[in-house]
Amino acid sequence: MPDALIFQDLFYVWFVGLLGGLVAYVLKQPLLLGYMLGGLLVSPFTPGPAVQHIDTIQHLADFGVILLMFSIGLELAPVGLRRIGKVSLLVGLLKTLLLVAVSLPIGWTLGWPLTQSVVLGFTLSVSSTMVITKMLMERQELQTAHGQALLGIAIIEDCVMMALLPFLPIMADPASWHVGSVLLVLAKTVGLLVLMFVLGVRLVPRLLTFIGKTRDAELSLLVLLVIALGTGVIGVWCGLSLALGAFIAGLVVSGSETTTVTMGRMLPMRDLFVVTFFVSLGVLLDPRLVLQHGGLLLVLLVFVLGLKFIVNTVLCLAFRCPWPVAWRVGVGLSQIGEFSVVLSTIARGLGLLPADVHHLIVAVSLLSILVNTFVFNLLNKAPSMLTAVRNRGPLGKLAR
């Protein structure tokens, strides 16, 4: 029966996700890198078995994006924002503006429209919070000076991207470029925020408290899903996006004790659909198209790996960060990840980015994470390796 192919596709997606994740784990690489590479194994653009119902897999992947945005809203709640230092705030904002400014002449040279250049600049400016958190946790460096700076800047980048989302539809329609349309989007966004926070103060805490008293795991999980999806749908009704609505929902319910407990049960579901999202990126990535634009791919990699390192390091030094902190922040932020791909996916759907550029962004995400993780590991091992060499040399023998 034809419907059985859908389950076959799901098996393919989750199997290659498992396979890629295991390989990434063994090689000590971020798991999302393994998921995307695993997707290439069942892509219609590569030899071997291929996913048939790509649209169905894409819908499941979109659900993963909604849950991811919801959890980001929880993490970026006001309680978390208070931890951001002044330096992280200034560096996060200034470096985003600088990188977007640099993307304009690149786009102009390639003959791109202004909006495409701006969206590309924002897409390449935001680093992967997931990769940064994982690297810091593996090295037990979350509480170090560079760890706090890295997380703070990453949070500011995520906030800037969320602020950009409501304006993407306007950017996609040049006819709507006027003050009235901008004010209308601002009014809708503020209205949605006000509505949700009023509900968050009046209704949501009581609902969550009541659900918490039932001590029923299924109801606790269900209420969070209803709030996340429901707010996303309201966002669409307001002419905004599902992702933005889910993000706002995360902000609203972040202060609840019930949410903290229930989120632990929701994480496996979120992670499953997020895995589906990253595998789907590999499924939809056309390697031939990437190779055809090898020159542009190299330019984007230099932008992400080189320019971002320089800008972030110089800005940290300008705000009097010690050199060991500044270069570690520069290296840690020299990659793009989940938010860049999400933003690129949304922009592509709106016609702001062509398909070939979207493919290149996914490829840059893969390569930059791979190079970034290797370099970060190498540079962190460098001091101890240098000490070991010195100890083995003539001076080391003399000292003994």
CA distance 33 to 322: 31
* Residue 214 CB burial class (10 angstroms; 0-12, 13-18, ≥19): exposed
d(CA 278, CA 342) in angstroms, rounded, equals: 10
> What was the pLDDT predicted at 80?
55
What pLDDT was estimated at residue 3? 63
User: What pLDDT, on the 0 to 100 scale, is given for residue 300?
Assistant: 92
Write the DSSP string, 309-338: HHHHHHHHHHTT--HHHHHHHHHHTS---H
- What is the average pLDDT score of the chain? 79
Predicted pLDDT at 204: 72
pLDDT tens-digit series, residues 237-248: 766 667 777 777
The mean pLDDT of 9-23, rounded to a whole number, is: 90
Say how far apart CA 321 and CA 87 lie, in whole Å: 9
Least confident interval from 277-286, 336-345, 362-371, 378-387: 378-387
Closest by CA position to 110, among listed 286, 300, 285, 310: 300
State residue 381's pLDDT score: 67
Which range is most confident: 64-78, 159-173, 291-305, 333-347? 291-305
Q: Who's near 346: CB < 8 A, 6+ residues apart?
A: 165, 168, 241, 243
Buried b vs exposed e over 278-306: b needs ≥16 C-beta within 10 Å?
bbbbbbbbbeeebeebeebbebbbebbbe
Q: What pLDDT was estimated at residue 175?
A: 67
Residue 390, pLDDT score: 47
pLDDT of residue 228: 78
Between residues 286 and 123, the one the model is more confident about:
123
* pLDDT tens sequence across 256-275: 555 666 666 677 777 887 78
Could you read off the pLDDT of 109-142 as tens digits, one per residue?
888 888 889 999 999 998 887 778 777 766 777 6
pLDDT at residue 239, as a whole number: 64
pLDDT, residue 75, reads 66
Classified by CATH at the fold level, domain 4-284+305-385 comes out as Na+/H+ antiporter like fold (1.20.1530)
Burial of 175 (0-12, 13-18, 19+ CB in 10 A): exposed
Q: Is the pLDDT of residue 379 over 70?
A: yes
Domain boundaries, the chain: 4-284+305-385
Lowest model confidence (mean pLDDT) among 30-44, 148-162, 386-400: 386-400
Give pLDDT, residue 338. Answer: 76
